[in-house]
Structure 1
Amino acid sequence: MLKRKYGDRPGWQRVDEKQYAQTYLETTEFKGYVTLVKTIKVSKPLFVNYGGTENVCIVGDGYSWLQHFPLNENYSVTTMFDPEGRIIQWYIDICKEIGVEDQIPWMDDLYLDLIVLPTGEIYEKDADELEDAYIKGWIDKPLYDLAWMELKKLKRLIEENQFQLIKLSKEHKEIVESQY
């Protein structure tokens, strides 16, 4: 069972008030939808830990999540910004496919994720969920292999400083913010 995740993040429990905007971009570097959720008021901030980092806030009052939904790709990138506009992290979801429903982009999450910190550190996440989904028959062998192939490709591009969406995050955020 794949989880379908929408760009406007409906039903986000901890978010009491938010703003949402989206746009479609077609440039030499990117073709697809870009969404922006600004959390105006949250009931409870969300903190995460990766490796040596402790209690990094990724959701709080005034935070922004910019999400890229590239067409014909098997990943989606969420760039998380603090209230001052500093990038906290890039969260890359490996996905089966990307689509649009009622003019809102979505992705079918394929479990595996990459987290990239501004320091350059890269973390793989949720391999256990992918294994579990395969063992339970929720996904077949071709989807399992696709997830690992995509993760390895993206990790290599990031390590070689060739993954364009990381470089375009701030520019694309400004474009989508103009939609408010």
Structure 2
Amino acid sequence: MLKRKYGNRPDWQRIITRKSATAIEDTDRFRGDLTLLHAVKVTAPASFTYGEKEICIIDDGYTWLQQFPADANHSVTTMFDADGNVVQWYIDICLSNGKDEQGPWMDDLFLDLILLPGGELIVKDADELDEALDNQVIDQKLYDLAWKEAETLIDLIKKERFEPVRLSYYHKDKLEKTFR
């Protein structure tokens, strides 16, 4: 079974005090749902290590923007530090994006891409995708869909034509205005 993940992260216990906002964007550059989660206060910071780089992804004052493009097989979470600088773009490959009474969501297809501000691109959790196929959680069609989507996005990122990354500061600023 695929995991459904919500943009407002309602079950994330690490965040003690939060603010959040949602919006719908329908422009030539992006069509879909947006969520912004501001972690005012967290129980403890969280970091990940990529090679020799340790990246803090959540701490007091951090903000996560999640873009759920309509009719797409990916969702993008941009993680901003307390000063408003991007620490990473986390791209979930997914079966679909949608919205219900809890807010925008995506059905995760295991495979992820991580883009660091310096341009380094990391393919993550390919082993989880393989395991999901081996254990018949997904079929060959979904496995192939995940890799095709990842390859398409890698190409767009390398050409600097992936709109969610290009729009991340704009979308963050737009939703932050609703906090005030």
Q: TM-score range by the shorter chain?
A: over 0.9
Q: TM-score if structure 2 supplies the norm length? A: 0.97
Letter in 2 for 1:149: K
CA distance in 2, matches of 1:22, 1:81: 17
Letter in 2 for 1:85: G
Residue of structure 1 in register with 2:53 after alignment: 53
Q: Secondary structure at the match of 2:71?
A: coil
Residue of structure 1 in register with 2:9 after alignment: 9
- Alpha-carbon deviation of 1:123? 0.2
Residue of structure 2 in register with 1:171 after alignment: 170
Query: Does the CA contact (< 8 Å) of 1:66 and 1:173 recur in 2?
Result: yes
Q: Note if 1:148 corresponds to 2:137.
A: no
- Alpha-carbon deviation of 1:51? 2.0
Q: Secondary structure at the match of 1:10?
A: coil
Coordinate RMSD, CA, aligned: 0.8
- Please give the per-residue CA displacement for 1:123-162, whole angstroms capped at 9, x wherever unaligned: 0000011011111111011100000000010001101111
Which aligned pairs between 1:119-158 and structure 2 lie closer than 5 A? 119-158=118-157
CA distance in 2, matches of 1:140, 1:179: 42
Residue of structure 1 in register with 2:82 after alignment: 83
Flag structure 1 segments of 5+ consecutive residues without an equivalent: none
Residue of structure 2 in register with 1:110 after alignment: 109
Q: Secondary structure at the match of 2:152?
A: helix
Residue of structure 2 in register with 1:25 after alignment: 25
Which aligned pairs between 1:88-103 and structure 2 lie closer than 5 A? 88-102=87-101
- Please give the per-residue CA displacement for 1:18-49, whole angstroms capped at 9, x wherever unaligned: 11101000011000011000001110100111
Q: Secondary structure at the match of 1:178?
A: helix
After the TM superposition, list the runs of 4 or more consecutive aligned residues in structure 1 that deviate by more than 2 angstroms: none
CA distance in 2, matches of 1:16, 1:166: 28
- Alpha-carbon deviation of 1:103? 5.7
Flag structure 2 segments of 5+ consecutive residues without an equivalent: none
CA distance in 1, matches of 2:14, 2:101: 24
- Alpha-carbon deviation of 1:52? 2.9
Residue of structure 2 in register with 1:73 after alignment: 72
